[in-house]
Structures are given as C-alpha cells and as structure tokens.
C-alpha cells in the first residue's frame, strides 16, 4: 500500500494550473497552498478526501471535473469550496482581540483575511469559476471494501485545457464503526428557528420537516450521536397550562433517530432571570417563574408529568439525558441543587448533564462538561468524578482562545481533529458545542458578530463560533471545521481499538503529536504520518470484529435479531463493524446463500455454532425454542469476544 507523489499531468499548454492539497491545510484565495505529497489513507467506513487548488483560470468558462480509473470505489462526490471572511482574530483568552486588546500569536493568519470553508455540492461542473477556484473530491470507503491502493485520475478541463491529477486512495483493513450509542459522545446545539428562517420555510411545516431531516443527516455524517430537544418547541400554552405537543415531539425525535442519532439531550429548561449572572435563583423558561418557588414547582411538576408519560410510552427513557440551566456557577449552585432534586423526583433515572466547572454541584450533576482548559487545570477533580461514577465531557465556545483546542476560523483544522485524540488520551466521554447553525448574520458574509447580550461593544463572538455549517440552496452545506471534527471522531474509534489490544503502542502514537489540549503538533504532515502509523498498526493484526446479519425482506425474525445484535454490540463489542446483508440481493454463486435467515456471522462464523447448508437457498432459519432472546444473543457474543482475546 505505498503512496504515490501527486503531480499534475498537463495535457495542453493552456493556463489551467492545478495542485492537490491536504484537506486539513487552510486555503486562502490570495495565495497558493502547499501541495499534497502522498496518497489518501482511509479506514473502511471512513471518508477519503482531497482538495484541488486551481489558479490561472479563465473566469468566463466553466470547469468540468470527473474521475477516471479504479471503479471499485463508490462514485466520488465533488464540492466547490467557498471562502468566508475572518474580520478579527480570536483573543488570547476568549472572544476576539478587541475584547482585551491583546495579541494572539496562536492563529493561522493575521486578520482580516478570507479562507475557504464551505462545501457546496456540484455535479461535475463549476460555473463562474473566478480567477482562482478550490474544489473538494471525496469517497466513502465501504465497510466491506477490499483493502488495497486504488489509483484514480482527477480530470479537470476548461475549454481546450486539460489537467490530469493522479491520486492513490489507500483503503486499510482497519475499520471505523458507524456512529451511535457506543461511540464517543458528540452534540452540537442547533436552532430549528434558524433552519426555517434561512431556508424561507414556515416552522413545523411539511417543507420544514423535510429540511430538518437533511440537517439530521448532516449531523450523522459528522458522527454526531446526540441531538437536543428544546422544551419551548414542544409545549404550547393552552388555557393557561403548558401542554406537551406530543405528536410534534414524536416526529422530531423520530427524524433524528431515523437519521442514526441515538442520544436525546433535553435542553436547559431554566436559566438566569433576565440573563443576570449575579442572580442566585433559576427561572423556568416556560412561564418565567422562579423554578424553586411554589408556582414554579407546581408548573414544573405538570410539565415533567406530561413529558415522563411520553418518554415511557415511546421508550425514550434509556436514551434521554437532561440539562437544567446552562453554565451554572457557585452563585446559583444552591438553587440548582434544589432544582436537581425536583428533576430526579419527576424524571427518575434520567442523568443530569451540564456545562459547568462548579465544584459545589457535586451530587447534583451526573455528566460534567467543563471547558477544555478548565478540565486540564482541574484534572484531578474531574478524575475523582469519573472514579465516583460520573461522566465527564468537555466543551468550548467563545473561549478558550490562545493555543487551546477550539474550532474557530483562524485556528488550525488540526485543533478540531485533536478533540478525538484528547478523548482517547484523557478518557473524555464526549464533546459539546453550542454553535451548529446559530447564525446571527449571513454566515457567508460575516463571521465575527456581536455578543447577543452586549451588542455594539467590544464583546464579540470570535470568527465561526456561532456555526460550523451553512444554509445552502437545497439543504445544509457542511464546513471544513465540521469535517475536521469528524476526522477526529473517526481517529478516536481507531485509537480505542488499538488501545484495547496494544495500549502501549496506542499511547506511543498519541505522544508523537498530541500531549495536551494546548500542546500538540500543528504540522499536517506530522499528523498524517502518525495517523498512517495508527492505521498500519491496526492492519498488522488488530482488526475489529466483523459482524454480518443475514436476512431478507419479509423475514419476520430479521428485524428483531438485528436489534438484539446491535444492542449487544454496544455493550460488549463497541468497536465491532456491524452490517446487514439482504440475501436476496446476492449473486447465486455467493456462499452466504447457504445460510438461512436470520443468521449472524461473527468474523465468518455462526454466532450459535451452526454450519451452513450443503446447497444455497433463501429460507427461514428454525431456532430450537424460537428466536434467541436478546440476553442469549449477548451471552453468545460475549463468549466469542472472550475467545478472540
């Protein structure tokens, strides 16, 4: 699986000049980027991508793009990259440099400048290319792809000019499982109202629901596995009572569940009265009542009773986590603790999840989410919380600035990648950010915006803090920071697999490039070398368990077996690659047709020790005593996992 140098073969003498660029290198419209000098290493289940920088373009003519060569890969997807402004640099501590007048040396370039960020899908053609153009091409490596180096050629033409760029896509045996219940926690808070506003839709109309599904699909692509539910979106005031709109809530949760997101994150239902950070009490968002006062207690109990009934009826309880009030501090910790008691009384067994650094909330919070720099400063405390059975995530927002991990437009894309490495090294359970699509202005035209609480001051949100995706013409368009974060989530799955079998090697690979949330390598080539070593280490003998569920449409037992297997894998083999295969779609020569439906093959061996039939036939499997119960499936899988170790 050797790499090849990526040099352009120019077939004409025109002015179309093109180079391949690593997707993690920033590209600016006013300067040429460094050229990519290796192939694309990708695990099965991952996405391989490269960028193309084209200079000397005739702005009057369209550019045609295509791929030729190896056809065993899925069809590529092409995007045109759009640039956005960076009006001010991120501050050394937080916000922008204007806030305290400091100079932050830890930025990729001094502002103002423009940088390519937006992925606009195209279908083989770029109209109105301008003097310079940046493109992206990508392939998804299927989980069942044969490991190999696939050689392709990217063909770019404009008028009589033709440029051919050779590229090697190296698919490794290592595999990344689909995101879900058992993968690293990841949530981006999003605004349904902004989805409606920026796509000119009526909130909760049929076109809106279609658009919401597209946003959910983009979240899943980015390996997000948690989505939030804002209580005011699902409670309507009817005759003085806040009444749950259960049909809307069911449809909303089904939209994200069907897209592949597992965890349900109840958004904060309380906050500071009038946004006053000096207030010691919390106020309900519904009704604006003091939460722990008599009227607040009564109203909250009624809201929880309705919600709990819906959770029970729809089997959401084991998927739900709940915030109370965002970023509680020592100032309102006492009232928050009372609110936590109230929540546990009405929604028992629902973990309380909060972005906070207040030690006074021990016992009130089950899932801690400190800012990343606070976690590093108070690691001993958060390690104690983990040992006590709590979970610990991290988050970023308008802070931290300086050298710390964050995902702002004037920072290296590697910082987003390294959130996955930090989780693997430090045991973080997940990552939270408030800004998926919280646009405060046209995101194509403005990246730095006023802080909503203090408009027209030097208190400004840094470039890109409000969002990582963009409102496209037919749906959401991804951003390069969102894609970089996905790469880090893929890396976390790979590092976790290696650590399970060879922790010394996993730690050695991490130490090469990542030492702390403010201490890491910023050279993309150094990262690529370490990631290649990670993939090769997995290729050499640590392969994730491959589980294949064989069935066919109409088999009444297949869906239940599929659910049992996937549930068991979440607890027993979270790194396993699970695929479902339709027997009726296989060619007649495929040996898997000798198995009846449903059959579960673990690395090619039947989960329950049976042998295949002598002749192929699509038939139903008869299990002694009926279809195995989920507990039996789990026990059988656990036995195979122990045997493999």
pLDDT in tens, 34-46: 999 889 999 999 9
Residue 532 is assigned to a structural domain of this protein = no
Give 36's DSSP letter: P
pLDDT in tens, 600-624: 999 888 999 898 998 898 999 999 9
Whether 76 and 155 share a structural domain: yes
Whether 154 and 195 share a structural domain: no
Residue 159 is assigned to a structural domain of this protein = yes
Beta bridge partners, 85, equal 114
Task: Assess whether pLDDT exceeds 50 at residue 9.
Answer: no
Residue 227's pLDDT band (cuts 50, 70, 90): very high
Residue 8 has a pLDDT of 40
Residue 2's pLDDT band (cuts 50, 70, 90): very low
Whether 281 and 314 share a structural domain: yes
CA atoms in the 13 A half-sphere facing the CB of 217? 9
pLDDT in tens, 534-584: 999 999 875 667 899 999 998 999 999 999 998 888 778 776 788 899 999
Whether 252 and 372 share a structural domain: yes
Task: Assess whether pLDDT exceeds 70 at residue 397.
Answer: yes
Residue 59 has a pLDDT of 86
Gap between the terminal Cα atoms of the chain: 28
Residue 10 has a pLDDT of 39
Contacts 24+ apart (CB under 8 A), 530-535: 531/41, 531/491, 532/41, 533/509, 534/174, 534/491, 534/494, 534/495, 534/498, 534/506, 534/509, 535/41, 535/43, 535/172, 535/174, 535/494
Residue 499 is assigned to a structural domain of this protein = no
Whether 83 and 133 share a structural domain: yes
Q: What is the number of domains present in the chain?
A: 3
Q: Helices (H), strands (E): how many in the chain?
A: 14, 34
Residue 521 is assigned to a structural domain of this protein = no
Residue 538 is assigned to a structural domain of this protein = no
**Cα–Cα distances in Å, from 216 out to 148, 169, 188, 416, 440?**
32, 28, 11, 20, 21
Which string of DSSP letters, residue by residue, matches 484-515?
Answer: HHHHHHHHHHHHHHHHHH-HHHHHHHHHHHEE
Residue 645 has a pLDDT of 56
Average pLDDT over residues 221-227: 98
Residue 591 has a pLDDT of 87
Task: Find the length of the chain.
Answer: 645
- Give the C-alpha separation, 271 to 279, whole Å: 10
- Give the C-alpha separation, 645 to 578, whole Å: 19
Whether 266 and 323 share a structural domain: yes
CATH number at residue 305: 3.20.20.80
Residue 570's nearest CA partner among 176, 180, 175, 43 is 180
Residue 6 has a pLDDT of 39
Whether 257 and 338 share a structural domain: yes
Task: Assess whether pLDDT exceeds 50 at residue 358.
Answer: yes
CB atoms within 10 A of CB 288: 11
Residues ≥6 apart with Cβ < 8 Å to 215: 190, 195, 437, 469, 475, 476
Domain that holds residue 128: 9-174
- Give the C-alpha separation, 91 to 458, whole Å: 11
Task: Assess whether pLDDT exceeds 60 at residue 1.
Answer: no
Whether this model's pTM surpasses 0.95: no
Whether 149 and 41 share a structural domain: yes
Residues ≥6 apart with Cβ < 8 Å to 272: 279, 282, 283, 325, 332
- Give the C-alpha separation, 92 to 74, whole Å: 44
Triad 101, 402, 477: Cα angle to 5°: 105
CATH number at residue 640: 3.40.30
CB atoms within 10 A of CB 601: 18
**Cα–Cα distances in Å, from 538 out to 159, 494, 495?**
46, 8, 9
Q: Which two tokens stand for residue 636?
A: 């059988």
Task: Assess whether pLDDT exceeds 90 at residue 386.
Answer: yes
Contact 139, 47 (CB under 8 A): yes
């Amino acid at each position: 699986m050797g790499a090849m140098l990526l040099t352009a073969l120019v077939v004409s003498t025109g002015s179309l000049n093109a180079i391949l660029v690593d997707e993690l290198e920033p590209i600016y419209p006013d300067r040429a980027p460094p050229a990519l000098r290796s192939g694309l290493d990708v695990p099965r289940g991952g996405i391989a991508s490269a960028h193309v920088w084209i200079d000397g373009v005739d702005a009057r003519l369209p550019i045609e793009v295509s791929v030729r060569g190896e056809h065993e890969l899925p069809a590529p997807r092409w995007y045109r990259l759009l640039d956005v402004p960076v009006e001010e640099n991120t501050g050394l501590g937080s916000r922008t440099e204007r806030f305290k007048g400091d100079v932050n040396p830890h930025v990729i370039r001094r502002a103002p400048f423009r940088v390519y960020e937006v992925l606009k899908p195209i279908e083989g053609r770029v109209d109105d290319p301008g003097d310079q153009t940046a493109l992206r091409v990508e392939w998804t490596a299927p989980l069942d792809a044969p490991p190999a180096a696939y050689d392709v050629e990217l063909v770019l033409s404009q008028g009589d000019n033709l440029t051919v760029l050779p590229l090697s896509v190296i698919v490794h045996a290592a595999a990344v499982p689909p995101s879900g219940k058992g993968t690293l926690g990841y949530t981006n808070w999003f605004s349904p109202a902004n989805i409606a506003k920026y796509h000119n839709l009526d909130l909760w109309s049929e076109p809106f629901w279609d658009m919401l599904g597209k946003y959910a699909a983009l979240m899943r692509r980015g390996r997000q596995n948690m989505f939030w539910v804002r209580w005011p979106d699902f409670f309507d005031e009817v005759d003085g009572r806040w009444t749950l709109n259960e049909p809307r809530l069911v449809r909303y949760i089904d939209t994200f569940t069907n897209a592949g997101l597992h965890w349900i994150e109840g958004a904060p239902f309380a906050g500071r009265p009038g946004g006053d950070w000096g207030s010691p009490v919390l106020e309900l968002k519904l009704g604006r009542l003091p939460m722990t006062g008599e009227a607040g207690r009564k109203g909250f109990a009624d809201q929880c009773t309705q919600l709990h009934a819906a959770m029970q009826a729809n089997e959401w309880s084991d998927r739900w986590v709940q915030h109370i009030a965002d970023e509680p501090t020592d100032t309102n910790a006492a009232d928050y603790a009372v609110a936590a008691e109230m929540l546990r009384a009405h929604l028992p067994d629902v973990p309380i999840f909060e972005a906070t650094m207040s030690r006074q909330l021990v016992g009130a919070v089950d899932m801690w989410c400190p800012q990343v720099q606070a976690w590093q400063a108070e690691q001993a405390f958060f390690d104690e919380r983990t040992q006590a059975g709590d979970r610990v995530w991290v988050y970023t927002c308008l802070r931290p600035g300086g050298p710390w991990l964050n995902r702002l437009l004037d920072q290296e894309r590697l910082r987003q990648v390294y959130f996955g490495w930090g989780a693997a090294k430090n045991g973080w359970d997940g990552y939270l950010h408030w800004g998926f699509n919280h646009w405060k202005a046209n995101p194509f035209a403005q990246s730095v915006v006023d802080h909503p609480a203090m408009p027209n001051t030097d208190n400004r949100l840094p470039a890109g803090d409000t969002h990582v995706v963009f409102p496209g013409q037919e749906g959401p368009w991804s951003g390069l920071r969102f894609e970089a974060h996905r790469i880090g989530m893929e890396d976390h799955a790979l590092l976790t697999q290696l650590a399970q079998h060879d922790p010394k090697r996993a730690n050695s690979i991490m130490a090469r490039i990542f030492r702390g949330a403010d201490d890491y390598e910023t050279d993309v080539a150094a990262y690529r070398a370490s990631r290649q070593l990670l993939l090769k280490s997995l290729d050499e003998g640590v392969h994730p368990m491959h589980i294949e569920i064989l069935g066919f449409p109409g088999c009444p037992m297949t869906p239940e077996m599929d659910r049992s297997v996937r549930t068991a894998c979440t607890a027993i083999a979270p790194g396993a690659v699970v695929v479902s295969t339709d027997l009726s779609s296989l060619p007649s020569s495929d040996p898997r047709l000798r198995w009846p439906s449903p059959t579960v093959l673990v690395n090619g061996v039947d989960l329950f020790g049976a042998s295949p039939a002598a002749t192929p036939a699509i038939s139903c499997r008869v299990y002694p005593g009926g279809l195995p119960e989920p507990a039996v499936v789990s026990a059988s899988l656990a036995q195979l996992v122990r045997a493999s170790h």
